[in-house]
């Protein structure tokens, strides 16, 4: 891995030459890797510099995670919040490295996360809103346990969210996702929330909607 970067990643440069382009950082889900979301990079706005990051924790026999998910006979499934907080701050540092190395617009850094990557996108943007402009949060939820202390007092005036979820998601219950909008509303953050009749995935109409949302804001 390039020692200048905290995370391994794939890169798609803007299709049109732009001075200091907007950047979109893709954060994949649990058990996946940087190739997953990168598969639709070519369908995203041409003017974006797109970076698909690989989560730091290797899984067996393959795949990666931003943090471990444990199964307990008594408590059911729970997240390793300490690892998640470490990943949150690794992504924060990675944003600075991207700005320094790729000469992107530091005022136009955007995150797109799916599932566990979405949970981390919420955590990074809500903990460090000065670093992020727009967030596309797909099939995730706000885990308050991994937000930086004092997040309620942050300046969120420049931050915007597009959130979506599958109404029959069998991995992350839609009820969890439905709490995202009132939570963001309460912080005064501009946001939209959409549901689609799918499971734990991104429907075509979901992708078209998020792409148009992004286009209008970068």
| DSSP class per residue in 171-214 | SS-HHHHTTHHHHHHHTT-EEEEEEES-SSS--HHHHHHHHHHH
Query: Would the pLDDT of 3 be above 80?
Result: no
Please give the CATH topology (third level) of the domain spanning 9-215. Answer: Rossmann fold (3.40.50)
User: Any idea where the domains of the chain sit in the sequence?
Assistant: 9-215
Question: What's the predicted TM-score (pTM) here?
Answer: 0.95
Query: Would the pLDDT of 1 be above 60?
Result: no
Query: Would the pLDDT of 47 be above 70?
Result: yes
pLDDT score, position 203: 93
Cα 108 to its chain centre, rounded Å, is 15
pLDDT score, position 77: 63
Query: Would the pLDDT of 74 be above 70?
Result: no
- Taking residues 55-67, what's their average pLDDT? 93
Q: Which of 167, 170, 174, 168 is nearest to 140 (CA)?
A: 174
Quick check: 8 and 53 in contact, CB under 8 A? yes
Which range (2-11, 95-104, 141-150) has the least confidence? 2-11
Percent of the chain predicted with pLDDT > 70 = 95
Q: What would the pLDDT profile of 90-124 be if each residue is shown by its tens digit? A: 999 999 999 999 999 999 999 999 999 999 999 99
Percent of the chain predicted with pLDDT > 90 = 89
């Amino acid at each position: 891995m390039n020692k200048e970067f905290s995370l391994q990643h794939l890169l798609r440069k803007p299709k049109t030459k732009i001075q200091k382009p907007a950047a979109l950082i893709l954060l994949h889900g649990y058990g996946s890797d940087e190739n997953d979301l990168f598969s639709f990079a070519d369908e995203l706005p041409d003017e974006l510099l797109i970076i698909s990051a690989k989560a730091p924790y290797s899984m067996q026999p393959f795949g990666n995670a931003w943090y471990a998910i444990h199964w307990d006979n008594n408590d059911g499934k729970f997240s390793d919040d300490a690892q998640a907080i470490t990943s949150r701050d690794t992504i924060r540092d990675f944003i600075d490295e991207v700005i320094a190395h790729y000469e992107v617009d530091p005022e136009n850094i955007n995150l797109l996360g799916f599932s566990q990557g979405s949970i981390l996108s919420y955590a990074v943007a809500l903990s460090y809103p000065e670093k992020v402009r727009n967030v596309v949060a797909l099939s995730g939820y706000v885990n308050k346990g991994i937000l930086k202390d004092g997040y309620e007092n942050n300046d969120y005036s420049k931050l915007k969210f597009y959130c979506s979820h599958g109404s029959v998601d069998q991995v992350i219950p839609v009820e969890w996702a439905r709490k995202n909008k009132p939570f963001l509303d309460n912080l005064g953050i501009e946001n939209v929330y959409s549901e689609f009749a799918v499971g734990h995935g991104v429907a075509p109409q979901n992708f078209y909607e998020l792409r148009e949302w992004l286009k209008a804001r970068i």
